Structure 1
Amino acid sequence: GLLMHYQDPNPHNRIQIIPQALNYGNQGINFLIGVLKNDDSLEVQSVAYKLILSKDKQLAKTLGSSPAMFLTLQSLLQSQNFKEADRETATLVLAVANRQAEGYLRKVDAENFPRRELHTVDQLWLKYSGYRFGMSIQYQVYKSLIKKEQDDDGFWCSFAEKVGWKQVGKKWLYYDQLNFSLSAPVGHLPWGGFGWFELGGGGGVLFSLLSGFLQSTI
């Protein structure tokens, strides 16, 4: 009965149904893990995570961050407030990587960034921008340029020109000069401001983060 009722297309109804899973022991926990991984509603995922946490904190810890932490980003993107969504993305990425105090990512943080959280942020950007913005879109741009031989700085500049962070042959744009609307170039957002500019080495930190889309462990 639980599985049948869970198929309800209304997420609010699914939220009412899934607490029943706690009556089914390990089978119910496995069901909730499936909901957490596969449901298309962050709200439903958040309830599933909370229910798992109430039964087994250690297990919940292995499942990554609570989906509830992404609800603010979802709300900002739904209302197409792309500038605030970009800032929220930076906040989330630093929180997930436990780098809030430092305010930037190192290359090692980007390389070890959890794939599920990366995927969640990306899916929200894709969904609410009509597939114009998102880290996986930036990864496609990265991939399209990587075949061309050039040094790191040249590659970074080519990438930035392609996504509109730098005018061709001219200066880099300041943050407030970015285009926080759907008329921006494909891959323009999220810019994020996670600190790759301060760290040297061109776009090494960003590209390490984007390489997460090579490793499909989601």
Structure 2
Amino acid sequence: MILLDGFDEVADATDRQHISEWVDHQINKYPNTAFILTSRPLGYQEAPLKKKMQVLEIQPLTPKQINEFIHSWYITTEHQRRAGKDPELAKRKAKQKADSLLKQIEDRNLSEFVSNPLLLTLIAESHRFEKRIPTRKVELYQTIFQVMLVDRPREKGFEPLPLPHSLSVLQPLALALMQQGITKFTFEAVEPILAEYLDKLPGSPEPFEFLKELQAVDALIDKDKEADYEFAHKTFQEYLAALEIQKTNQQHILRTALQNKKELDWWQETMRFYAAVPDADSTALVQTIVQESETSRKLNLEKVLLAWHFYQEGLVAADQKQSLLELSNEPLKILEPADFQYAQDVQPRYFKLAHYLQTGQWYAADQETYEVMKRIMGGWSLQGIKDFPCPDLSVIDQLWLKYSQGKFGFSVQKQIWVEVGGKLDYGKDGQAATDAYDALWGVANWSTNLWGAAPRGHLPRPLLVYGLSRELCTLLSHPGL
């Protein structure tokens, strides 16, 4: 078995394509050998293997898995903390702390964070030291660095540098690595940077000792090979680089990256961190995206969604906020005035869906419908469908109806439901609803993914992902339709 890890961390797209071709060659040369390649989705999509491979994606943790992980994690840490002594006390303490963390996750609506295994681990680490977890990503990373650079060293018995001092060295290092398009580095390559900034600090260690101390606190920087170092996770490097850009007023780096697809892929997470840094002004970034869309008369979905992140997380001047709103509202203008006004008020909730429908991306629109409804409900449930806001259901339905010229939409499915004898009441035994569900399934041909060439009522299909006849009956009888 051959395991190739971190394919996406090859920053240069040309180099990544060469590696992809090399892997293809090795697979053909050794047909009886199993090859496993790991990558972030985007990195692989840009340079996929030519040989047909089974592609698997790591799925978000389920609520049950999150619960099990946190309880198991705390049991392990509490036993280790007590060196195996008094297991009953360790078990009680672990339950108390796990329950506390789970409650904070629920109260702060951090479901998206904790569904990521890495972030869940970091959140658990932060909670163990701080007893509370922040609600915003940038604050979470701030807490993580406090834990790694200050709390952990003290727990291990030595006095670390003050956090601002350590950051004053790590931030310029991270920015230099980002500008070079690399994550791994040798000590010799970064020694001048480390020395320059460490020399400014009283009582600071030598550069090599500085790296060793970072390793000692569970790999903020990880010595991967004999001569290579890297941040334990690329997002650490991106977060630190964002802090340095804000501190040194080098926003031009991000503006330049916005104008180049390859650079944008590399810098995008740093941009997101930058927008959330206190006092970081994202006006110029939003302006760059809006002006590009207006000049080219072609909307770049990825960039506009990024601009909305800047809008929501950072400081943006009022005129650029208005320009972004006008740009995003364009695909919503097909709606009737009341629906348009509501959709505009809750932007960017419906911009992405409207864009997919406007451009005929039916599969993407179907998936986005599911995601939008799930976010509004806070997770799919029968009660969530019953309580679904009427204005939101109307906007979703009307977008589908108008962009498909009356072919798709929940209201179309409602018409078919009634036509095949269904009643808008589930009833005591639900048999009529079950029969109508089966009939609608046949009329809409839900057994096949036909998308744009599909029959009337084929889309949208969020309840195929989640529900059965009761859920669909509840949705189609909703007063919002």
Please say whether Structure 1 and Structure 2 have the same fold, judged by a TM-score greater than 0.5.
yes
2:436 maps to which residue? 155
User: Quick one: distance in 1 between partners of 2:439 and 2:343?
Assistant: 39
Deviations 1:27-80 (A, max 9, x none): xxxxxxxxxx963785x6566x3xxxxxxxxxxxxxxxx142101000000000
Q: 1:153 to 1:76 in 2, by over 3 A?
A: same
Look up the equivalent residue of 1:85 and give its one-letter code: A
1:117 maps to which residue? 392
User: Quick one: distance in 2 between partners of 1:158 and 1:193?
Assistant: 15
SS at match of 1:68: coil
**Structure 1 residue 203: deviation in Å?**
1.4
- 2:339 touches 2:394 (CA, 8 Å); kept in 1? no
* Unmatched segments (≥5 aa) in structure 2: 1-318, 323-334, 424-429
Deviations 1:69-110 (A, max 9, x none): 1010000000000000000000000011111xxxxx222111
TM-score by length of 2: 0.27
1:209 aligns with 2:209: no
User: Quick one: distance in 2 between partners of 1:45 and 1:111?
Assistant: 20
1:91 aligns with 2:366: no
User: Quick one: distance in 1 between partners of 2:464 and 2:352?
Assistant: 18
- 2:398 touches 2:409 (CA, 8 Å); kept in 1? yes
User: Quick one: distance in 2 between partners of 1:152 and 1:193?
Assistant: 14
SS at match of 1:157: helix
1:178 maps to which residue? 449
- 1:126 touches 1:133 (CA, 8 Å); kept in 2? yes
User: Quick one: distance in 1 between partners of 2:406 and 2:449?
Assistant: 18
Query: What is the aligned length?
Result: 144
1:127 maps to which residue? 402
- 1:86 touches 1:190 (CA, 8 Å); kept in 2? yes
User: Quick one: distance in 1 between partners of 2:377 and 2:464?
Assistant: 11
- 1:110 touches 1:209 (CA, 8 Å); kept in 2? yes
Look up the equivalent residue of 1:156 and give its one-letter code: Y
Bigger relative contact order, structure 1 or 2, given CA contacts below 8 A and separation 6+? Answer: 1
Aligned positions of 1:15-164 closer than 5 A: 39=337, 42=340, 49=345, 66-99=346-379, 105-146=380-421, 151-164=432-445
**Structure 1 residue 155: deviation in Å?**
2.6
Deviations 1:113-132 (A, max 9, x none): 11100000011001110110
**Structure 1 residue 195: deviation in Å?**
4.0
User: Quick one: distance in 2 between partners of 1:45 and 1:114?
Assistant: 11
Q: 2:459 aligns with which of 189, 192, 195?
A: 189
Q: 1:193 to 1:38 in 2, by over 3 A?
A: closer
SS at match of 1:187: coil
2:81 maps to which residue? none
Which has the greater radius of gyration?
A: 2
Identity of aligned residues (%): 25
Q: 1:113 to 1:45 in 2, by over 3 A?
A: closer
- 1:110 touches 1:206 (CA, 8 Å); kept in 2? no
Look up the equivalent residue of 1:160 and give its one-letter code: W
Q: What's the Cα RMSD here?
A: 3.1
Q: 1:189 to 1:147 in 2, by over 3 A?
A: closer
User: Quick one: distance in 2 between partners of 1:130 and 1:142?
Assistant: 19
Look up the equivalent residue of 1:98 and give its one-letter code: G
Q: 1:185 to 1:211 in 2, by over 3 A?
A: same
* Unmatched segments (≥5 aa) in structure 1: 1-15, 20-36, 50-65, 100-104, 166-172
**Structure 1 residue 153: deviation in Å?**
3.1
1:169 maps to which residue? none
User: Quick one: distance in 1 between partners of 2:432 and 2:406?
Assistant: 30
Q: 1:150 to 1:38 in 2, by over 3 A?
A: closer
- 1:94 touches 1:194 (CA, 8 Å); kept in 2? no
